[in-house]
């Protein structure tokens, strides 16, 4: 019998928001135990053992949203993210472990680094969106874009040129404001696309966001030179 042949056993998978969010929450089914006292670890993800209070090594591949205890959504609450970041670093920072064993120092270092990475990835909409795409198995290829998007590229060229030729902070500020507006608009569209599970559309919008984020950076740089 051909095991690939569709039959009674075929499982239908419905791609809804519910299923999508499993990307982030289905990873750790294995029960972990504390490396020090061997008691089961109840927190998810476990930073410390509840029994002996000793720091734990980070779990490979833990979803950043889970680490930062945030909902798996593109429009996450950045205030909550920042709070959680400070809270985690207060307890995990290697400075707190200078009197502890080498192993604990090592674990706190890697936990703290992972928290930094998770925080920085989720903080900005662009890296957050790209990370969400990556969880869905998609990434933006290193190719060239032309032809089809020529109108968009001409628009970008015009903005870049205008910024280059801006002689006053006011001119640069105006471009900065327009770019911020554009980014806010893109954020809305990306959220809608991701909620509907339209990954290709979300990807195309994230590419646009990358170009505009570059312009935003250049505006900041230009403004700092006027100071």
Q: Which residues bind other proteins (CB under 8 A)?
A: 140-147, 149-150, 153-154, 156-157, 160-161, 164-165, 207, 210-211, 213-214, 218, 221-222
Nearer to other proteins, 41 or 213 (CB): 213
CB 54 within 8 A of CB 34: yes
CB of 156 to other proteins, least distance (A): 5
List residues bridging with 55 in a β-sheet.
48
Nearer to other proteins, 118 or 219 (CB): 219
- If DSSP codes are grouped into helix, strand and coil, which group holds residue 41? coil
Nearer to other proteins, 142 or 170 (CB): 142
Nearest to 175 by CA among 194, 156, 159: 159
CB of 142 to other proteins, least distance (A): 4
CB 207 within 8 A of CB 192: no
CB of 33 to other proteins, least distance (A): 39
Nearer to other proteins, 16 or 144 (CB): 144
CB of 110 to other proteins, least distance (A): 22
CB of 104 to other proteins, least distance (A): 28
CA 27-30-36 angle, 5° bins:
120
Nearer to other proteins, 63 or 130 (CB): 130
- How many other C-beta atoms are found inside a 10 Å radius of the C-beta of residue 209? 22
Nearest to 128 by CA among 75, 171, 169: 75
- How many other C-beta atoms are found inside a 10 Å radius of the C-beta of residue 85? 20
């Amino acid at each position: 019998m051909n095991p690939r042949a569709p039959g009674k056993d075929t499982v239908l998978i419905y791609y809804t928001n519910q299923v999508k969010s499993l990307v982030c929450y289905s990873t750790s089914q294995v029960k972990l135990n504390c490396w020090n006292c061997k008691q089961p670890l109840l927190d998810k993800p476990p930073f410390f053992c509840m029994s002996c209070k000793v720091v734990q090594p980070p779990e490979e591949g833990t979803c950043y949203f889970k680490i930062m205890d945030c909902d798996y959504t593109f429009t996450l609450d950045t205030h909550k993210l920042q709070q959680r970041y400070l809270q985690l670093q207060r307890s995990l920072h290697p400075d707190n472990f200078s009197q502890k064993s080498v192993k604990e120092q090592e674990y706190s270092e890697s936990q703290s680094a992972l928290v930094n990475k998770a925080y920085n990835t989720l903080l900005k909409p662009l890296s957050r969106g790209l990370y969400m795409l990556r969880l869905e198995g998609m990434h933006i290829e290193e190719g060239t874009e032309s032809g089809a998007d020529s109108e968009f590229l001409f628009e970008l060229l015009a903005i870049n040129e205008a910024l280059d030729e801006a002689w006053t902070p006011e001119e640069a500020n105006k471009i900065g404001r327009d770019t911020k507006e554009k980014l806010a608009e893109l954020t809305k569209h990306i959220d809608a696309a991701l909620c509907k599970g339209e990954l290709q559309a979300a990807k195309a919008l994230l590419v646009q966001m990358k170009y505009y984020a570059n312009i935003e950076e250049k505006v900041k740089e230009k403004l700092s030179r006027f100071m």
